[in-house]
Structures are given as structure tokens and as C-alpha cells.
Amino acid sequence: MKEHCGVFGVVGPDSTRLTYEGLKLLQHRGQESAGISWIENGKIKTSKGLGLVGEALNPGDIGISSFSIGHVRYSTTGATTLQEAQPLDDGEISVSFNGTITNHFKFGRYSTDTEFILGFLSKEISSGRSLESSAKAFMDVADGAFSLLILSVSGEIVALRDPRGFRPLVLGEIGENKVIASEDSAIRQLGGRVVGSVHPGEMVILNERGFYREKVHTLQTTTCSFEYIYFSRPDSEIDGISVYTSRIKLGEILAEHHPAKGDIVVPVPDSSRPIALGFSRASGIPLEEALVRTVTSKRSFIMPSNEARNDVLKEKFGVVESAINEKRVILVDDSIVRGNTMKRLVTSLKSAGAKEVHVRIGSPMIKYPCYMGIDFPKRSELIGNLGSEAMIAREIGADSVEYLSVNEMEQAIGRTTLCKACFTGYYPLKGRYDLSNLESVFAR
């Protein structure tokens, strides 16, 4: 399972600087490439590169403009090449997008869904349609997840959030600047005020006069559960619900319904810390930060290949032996995907002296790939398909493994309007698909 992308766009006097800073604050959403598009001399210019924002972009190369959009990327489709980094522009419009257009392969030979978006919009515009009308036509035909920013040379940003609202998208103001971003925490950290979420199925136009909002589509909302469990920053709110509070509650409910006899609770840093804290508070078992993430490590699941991922795993965690020696450890994580990381951690804890290791997971068992913006391995590689919790415990060498149920997860997050497809196999898509075909297109 791999991270997807983050988008940030600004209309206002400080546009390009704020977009650059905003991308740095969304770095957790994609670390393979970064880019910014802006308007200069009546044309769209784009600067992009591979790596983290600070490596990929040189602020000196980015022009000063009142209109810009940016992107940090993990490639959910396509390879990690500079040509495929976003934003993608044709000189007149530029697109920057978070999600996956699940049906893009039905529209011809586009190598990525971003190319499909740009190609579709360009064709509509050259046939005489306005950008707004072209964007609505795109929403009619596209299936899947998209939080999409379109920058136009005419001096506006058109933003769309797909009708299911799979990915977050938030409006805000920073001084005189109008801002749109994947997460509200980035807007607040830049000293801004959050106006609110872009609603599922809504189109928002940002120009120098302000925001114009229009509901284009209505479908049952199914926001990605993993935005709460793992992806988003804990200091973000998604559709009015605090990510941090959700994670604490995931841990509390885990402790209540899936207790374990242990001496200490140990989080797998970083995203499972609040879940472990909730578990510790509810169970009364002390929390110990006995796993140390090496500062230079990237999250293994956003690494582009198995080889890269395994290299990262080797150097990812250190163990505080004095904290775990002779202890019964309750190891808390947000999810298990292939099981490589968890198996390695259990082995490390036991070799460092842990008497027992009980694994508790703050999400339901993942059994199906995602085709809505998160890069998953194929179904056969998901450890959840091994069978029971006892079989998974045996496979990873743990004394026990327990997961939350789907109902318990919904209760913790405090909403039922969530996508749960990777747990249940029910995909909330508009179209009907041959799932094995989707797997061959999207899963790795």
C-alpha cells in the first residue's frame, strides 16, 4: 500500500511562495517528485523535479505570479519519471491531481490518468467549451477518486472534488491569498484561516474576486478510511472530523474490544502513535516508545519498488532494549499490508529480549487492493488473505494478532460515510468493472 499525492494552489499576491511552502507541509503525501505551475507573460510555466520538495524545486527558478498550483507525488499510476511528475501543462492549462481515475484506460492510450485529464480538458476547451463547462463534463465521465486543481492562463484555478469525496480538499485564506489544499493543517501552519472542505461533487473557482462554489454532482459520500487511519497529518481535520481524535479512539476501542495481557504498549512510529496512546489510556498499560524510527528513513510503503522498500526496512527502526527486555509487549500499528515490516519488527523485539509480542491493529484486515488513489500490492500479496488472525500471527511470529472490525473502525472515526473497499471488497465506483482487470492495471 503506497501513499498518493498532495495538491496546493493559491490565487493572490504571495501565490508562488505560498505554494512552495505549502507543498513542503504536504510532503508526507508524496516524496517521489514535486512541481509548481504558475502564469508568466500570458503562458503557463512549470518547474518540477524528482525527490523531496527541497531537492526537486529551486525557488529561484519559480517566477513571481498571482496564480499557481503545486503537487507532491507518489505515482499511483505510471513510473516515477520527470515527464510524469505533476503538474502537467499544455501552456494554456495545467493540472495537479490527487487520486486515481479508475476508468481512464477506457479513453484511449494515455499512460497516466493525469495525461487523460489534461487531454480530455484540452479537447473540450478546443471544441469551444469554457473551462468550467469542460470541468463539469470531466466530472460526468470520470470514475474514481480525484481532488483536482486546474490552473488556467485566464487567471483562475478550478478545483473539483469527486462526487464520493474519496480524498480531502480544503479551502482557506492566508492574508489576501485564496488557498486550496489537500489538508487544512498546511493552511493553518502558514498562518491562514480555514474556510472549510470542498464538498464531494463540488466545483470551486478561485479567482481574484474570491471563491465561487457550485455543487455539480451528488452521490453517497465514501471518504477513504485510511485518510483518518494513516495518510493525513494528525493535526488535520477531514470534513470536520479530527484525524488525531479519530486515531486516539481507534486505540481506545482496540483496547476495549481486543485486549491483550501485556506489560507495555509500543507504537510503530509514526502514524500509529495516537492509536497506541488511546490503547494505553483505555487499558491502563503504560506506553513505551521502544521503537525508534531512523531520521532519514522514508515510510516504506511509499517506496517505489520492492527493492527500495526492503532497503528502507533494514535501516528503518531501532529497538530500545532496556525498555522491552523481559516484557510482554503489545505492539500497536495502524495496518498490516504485506506483513514484511511487522514480521521484521516482531523478530527484532523478540531478539532484543521481549518475552511475548501481541500485535494489535487499529484498522480492519486489508484483503483487497485499492483502485481509488492508493497504490496497493496485488491481492495475493496481502497478508490478510492468509486466513485467520491466528494464521497471520504464526506467519509474522507474534503471540497473537487482532484487528478492529469495520463497525468498530466506523465508531472510532465517528462516521459511516467511508470507503471500506480494501476491507470488504465492495468498491463504491460509478461503473461496473472486471476486478481482475482493475488489479492488472492498478495493483503492483
Of residues 405-444, which lie at the interface with ligand SF4 (CB under 6 A)? 419-422
Taking every pair of Cα atoms in the chain, the longest distance, rounded to a whole number of angstroms, is 73
Pattern 208-227, binding to ligand SF4, x per CB under 6 A?
----------------xxx-
User: Minimum distance between the CB of residue 235 and ligand SF4, rounded to whole angstroms?
Assistant: 20
User: Which residue, 238 or 419, is less far from ligand SF4 as judged by CB?
Assistant: 419
Non-local (6+) Cβ contacts of 257 within 8 A are 404, 405, 408
Of residues 7-46, which lie at the interface with ligand SF4 (CB under 6 A)? none
Q: Which helix (H) or strand (E) holds 393?
A: helix 389-396
> Using omega within 30 degrees of 0 as the cis cutoff, is the peptide bond preceding 270 cis?
yes
List active site positions: 5
User: Which residue, 17 or 430, is less far from ligand SF4 as judged by CB?
Assistant: 430
134 is in an annotated binding site: no
14 is in an annotated binding site: no
Q: Which helix (H) or strand (E) holds 293?
A: strand 291-293
Distances (CA, A) of 206 to 9, 187, 252, 326, 410: 9, 16, 41, 59, 34
61 is in an annotated binding site: no
Choose one: 150-158, 206-214, 354-362, 369-377; the region binding ligand SF4 (CB under 6 A): 369-377
Q: How far is CA 333 from the centre of its chain?
A: 17
Q: In sequence order, which ranges of 214-339 are alpha helices (DSSP H)? A: 225-226, 243-257, 273-283, 306-316, 321-324
What is the C-alpha separation between 195 and 410, in angstroms, rounded?
A: 26
User: Which residue, 120 or 231, is less far from ligand SF4 as judged by CB?
Assistant: 231
Q: Hey, what's the cell of 114?
A: 493525469
Of residues 165-184, which lie at the interface with ligand SF4 (CB under 6 A)? 166
Residues binding ligand SF4: number (CB under 6 A): 11
Q: Hey, what's the cell of 84?
A: 510524469
When binding is defined by CB under 6 A, the residue of 56, 88, 250, 370 that contacts ligand SF4 is 370
CB 166 within 8 A of CB 99: yes
Pattern 110-149, binding to ligand SF4, x per CB under 6 A?
----------------------------------------
Q: Is residue 372 a contact point for ligand SF4 (CB under 6 A)?
A: yes
CA nearest to 93, candidates 74, 75, 120: 120
333 is in an annotated binding site: yes
419 is in an annotated binding site: yes
Q: Is residue 229 a contact point for ligand SF4 (CB under 6 A)?
A: no
User: Minimum distance between the CB of residue 308 and ligand SF4, rounded to whole angstroms?
Assistant: 21
- Bind-site residues: 224, 271, 333-334, 370, 419, 422
The residues that touch ligand SF4, with contacts defined as CB under 6 A, are: 166, 224-226, 370, 372, 374, 419-422
